[in-house]
Structure 1
Amino acid sequence: MRTPERTFPADFTFGVATSAYQVEGGIENDWAEWERAGRLKEPHARCGRAVDHWSRYEEDYRLATAVGATAFRISLEWARIEPERGRFDEAALEGYRERLLKMKAHGLTPVVTLHHFTHPTWFHRETPWHQPESVEVFRRYSRRCAALLEGLDARVITFNEPMVLLLGGYLQGAIPPGIADGALTMKALENLVRAHVVARREVGERLGRVETGISQNMLAFAPDRWWNPLDRALVRLGGQAYNHAFHEALSTGKLRVNMPGVATTRVDIPEARDSAEFVGVNYYSRAHLRFVPRPPFIEFKYRDTQGRGLTDIGWEDWPEGFLQTLRDVKRYGKPVWITENGIDDRSGTRRPQYLHTHLAQVLAARAEGVDVQGYLYWSLLDNFEWLEGWGPRFGLYHVDFDTLERRPTPACDYFRQVATGRKLVAPL
């Protein structure tokens, strides 16, 4: 048996991740409308100024380099760039270009996400994802984004967690656009795959060969009742649909989802075949699935099976599933990037151990031949956490949401020690 690695190679990238709406502030988009409609778990929560990264970006770049990060993941906010359909805001484009150049000057390689959940306010009304026109609209937006990246050697993520967007926005109706329709979900899924293809083409035509992929939330799944065959069937079907359908479409050109009574599709998209240079993995937890005799026939549960304690957002701390997830994506034969991994730890005391156990799984996967090339922690800063509002704290840096002061958590020292020393050590 091969001894697990304890060191990261010199070319392994450690970085941090953010998204525009959650940190920048001052954005008017579909989520801002959703908040005003009182659709969050805390009906009065508003993102508003967020943590003002739009003004404090250089301070935040310095914080990233202080923990040894050499890559910084951001997203471009579509609503800033194209506030009205067909009208692009040149000041916003210049603002993003300036921020990307400053990021590079700070020694941080940009990892740029074109779409991280949010949309301009006009999008769902005029060109929603279940309509074919959405693909052309995204292609045009991507062309303008590509121009921002010239000379930066950026890595590009076209879509962040497309299956979360579809599950929450099109199947459950819990996030924008608030639709609950299985057939429309599958139409939107097909168009998101096609939109990735055209966005990748626009980026490539402008910049030449660019490492482009998606960032996919991937859960470990287990049957809620180990003895129940329907729960076990849900684990097989749900894992394939949620974790792998999008990745497989970009690998094989075949989009396949089979969730009887919920959502099903079989579409061939030949142009999607081999349309990603890397596999982006977001990993946080494990979910136990239970069959229930009513649509959508699935209940998600988080269980503390090992006595570690659920995270503060209520998720299982299950690093073992991280290794299995990385083994699973080896099938695509592409380099793997951990584009998000992190813990909601409101006391700040659990994060170093979480980092240790999860980075150990990255090393174990590499020892098994999985080509994991980078790890981006979610997130550099505490930020606005979507439906959860201002409660969760995922940041390496604690943010006082009143004063916006950034303060290091104990995880900053641990992350720096591993990122700069390249060696996995136990936290103090």
Structure 2
Amino acid sequence: MDRDFPADFLWGAATSAHQVEGGNVNNDWWDFEHDPGSAARESSLDAIDHFSRYREDFALLKALGHNTHRLSLEWSRIEPAPGEFSRGAMAHYRRVLAALADAGLTGFVTLHHFTLPRWFAAQGGWLGPQAVALFARYCHHVAAELGDLMPFVCTINEPQMVALHGYLEGYHPPGITNPTLWKRVGRVLLQAHHAAVQAIRSASGSSSVGLALQLPLLAPIRDDEACHALHRVMQHEIVDLYLEGLIGPDRGDWLGVQYYRKQWVDPASPTIFADPPEGSQLTQMGWAVHPDGLRQILHRASATGLPLYVTENGIATEDDTERLDYLHTHLAALAQARAEGVDVRGYLHWSAFDNFEWSEGYGPKFGLIAVEHDNDFRRVPKPSAYAFANVATTGRLDLFGHGRATA
């Protein structure tokens, strides 16, 4: 049978530093987790101890058929105080990225994945007067020191969610609920991406630079003008603003598409978003599963003209049979988008491991690999990890879930 995906397609999974490393005590998320008035349910503490176990983790992912891996660098380790760059942290991340390459995994390296250094947050975070310049300085430093080990660099992870969760919903740091600031921060983050692209390119000519956007499939909950009007606003602020803002010489070389769910808007809802319609399949996060949304979103993102990579897609569930179904149906949607002409060159599942899921703590299980926290953080691949390996190693969807492929 012919392959559904080409031999050079990139297959892997994703993590972020704060969610897996452990001990990131100098950022705004650590403070948020320990604020009794915040939305955070528990402390990240040791996470899954990836900081000291990265070599074994990379070897395991390679053994599971992955040829790429997405991770992030912790800004607060690299620049623990303004303008003070830690040689020890840079040496650690050089070892991490070298180990990634030695394991045969192509690195997608994210420079900002939700967490900010405590000092940056104290200066106003993304609303601070020097926010864009300070972020660009950090990106330039990292690219100058590590660019030779970063084939793909992602400037910012999900700028829309940084703005939405942190400044409108108050669900993430800094815990603000202000519609004006929400919109302002989104635009600042788009500027920060452009500035970061320029900074990275000036420091390292070897890295391909991109942006990772979470793009939900949005819809009005009712067929009335108020719902349609709100839908137009949210579609612009969460999706179109960013896709249409990727213009000019500093827009980047590729776009990361992150898709999880269909989401309905409702002006009558105090949260703007409506509960999914009755009968929807829901994840542990309460998100509605809608596989064809991935195909639709990939088509929308392709209007940028940039090569696309699915840099996150996955389901929070304790039931791995649900994950098997989610993976299979979403990979089929991905294959269909490619068959329809969309230039998608890779797929990275969220997440590699069950990890710290921000304000939800350790409850939601997104991983292909379970982690036994009370048994020295033992890693246990789930059946979905082997099913994914079958597709990753053969490029064939018909082999998904049929034992362990050998080709």
- The answer to whether 1:234 aligns with 2:230 is yes
Matched positions, count: 398
Q: How far did residue 274 of structure 1 move?
A: 5.5
Is there any run of 5+ residues in structure 1 with no aligned partner, and where?
252-271
- Runs of 4 or more, structure 1, over 3 Å off, are 39-43, 303-306
1:150 shift after superposition: 3.2
TM-score (norm 2): 0.93
The 3 A distance-change label for structure 1 pair 8 and 385 is same
Q: Within the alignment, does 1:335 sit opposite 2:307 as a pair? A: yes
Cα deviation 1:55-86 (Å, max 9, x = unaligned):
00011101110111111111110111111112
Name the structure 2 match of 1:302: 276
**Structure 2 equivalent of residue 281 of structure 1:** 257
CA distance in structure 1 between the aligned counterparts of 2:187 and 2:288, rounded to whole angstroms: 31
- Code of the residue aligned with 2:258 in structure 1: it is N
TM-superposed deviation, 1:303: 3.5
2:392 matched residue in structure 1:
419
Distance 1:390 1:39 in 2: 19
Q: Which segment is superposed worse, 203-212 or 81-90?
A: 203-212
Alpha-carbon offset, residue 401 of structure 1: 2.2
Counterpart CA distance in 1 for 2:278 and 2:154 is 33
Where structure 2 has 5 or more consecutive residues not aligned to the other structure, the ranges are: 403-407
**Of 366, 370, 379, the match for 1:394:** 366
Match of 2:243 in 1: 247
* Partner Cα distance (2:187, 2:362) in 1: 33
2:386/2:401 contact within 8 Å kept = no
Structure 1 vs Structure 2: percent identity of aligned residues? 41
Q: Is the 8 A contact 2:32 2:173 kept in 1?
A: yes
Deviations 1:386-411 (A, max 9, x none): 01011001110011122211101010
CA distance in 2, matches of 1:80, 1:145: 12
| Structure 1 residue 151: Cα displacement | 2.5
Matches within 5 A, 1:59-78: 59-78=56-75
Matched, 1:131 2:142: no
* Residues in 2 aligned to 1:367 and 1:347: alpha-carbon distance in whole angstroms: 31
Q: 1:92 to 1:398 in 2, by over 3 A?
A: same
What corresponds to 1:406 in structure 2? 379
After TM superposition, the score normalised by the length of structure 1 is 0.89
- Which deviates the most, 198-207 or 69-78? 198-207
- 1:267 is aligned to none
1:159 aligned partner, one-letter code: I
Contact preservation (8 Å) 1:96, 1:148: no
- Report the 3-state secondary structure (helix = DSSP H, G, I; strand = E; otherwise coil) of the residue aligned with 1:22: helix
Q: CA 1:289–1:150 in structure 2 vs 1: closer, same or farther (change >3 Å)?
A: closer
Asked whether the 8 Å contact 2:71–2:110 carries over to 1, the reply is yes
Q: Deviations over 1:173-200 (max 9, x none)?
A: 2211122223333332232222212211
Q: Equivalent residue for 2:405?
A: none
Residues 38 and 175 in structure 2, CA contact (< 8 A), matched pair in contact too: no
Structure 1 residues 353 and 214, CA gap change in structure 2 (3 angstroms): same
- Looking at structure 1, the residues matched to 336 and 229 of structure 2 have their Cα atoms a distance apart, in angstroms, of 28
- Residue 226 of structure 2 contacts residue 267 of structure 2 at CA under 8 Å; is this kept in 1? yes
What is the CA-CA distance between 1:369 and the residue it aligns to? 0.8
Q: Is the CA contact 1:20–1:74 (under 8 Å) kept in the aligned structure 2?
A: yes
Name the CA distance, whole Å, in 2 between partners of 1:96 and 1:420: 28
Is 1:179 the counterpart of 2:155? The answer is no
Partner of 1:155: 152
CA separation of 1:15 and 1:232: change in aligned 2, threshold 3 A: same
Q: Offset at 1:350?
A: 1.4
- The one-character-per-residue Cα deviations of 1:310-340 (angstroms, maximum 9, x if unpaired) are 1122111110111110111111111011000
- Measure how far apart 1:127 and its partner are: 4.4
Contact 2:71/2:108 (CA < 8 Å) preserved in 1?
A: yes
The correspondence of residues 36-75 of structure 1 with structure 2, limited to 5 A, is 36-39=34-37, 41=39, 43=41, 45-75=42-72
Q: Which amino acid aligns with 1:420?
A: T
Q: Residues 150 and 124 of structure 1: is their aligned pair in 2 closer, same or farther, counting only changes over 3 Å?
A: closer
Which position in structure 2 is the counterpart of 1:18? 15
1:329-388 deviation line (CA, Å, top 9, x unaligned): 111111011000011121222111111100111111111111000000111100000010
CA gap 1:114/1:39 in 2 versus in 1, 3 angstroms: farther
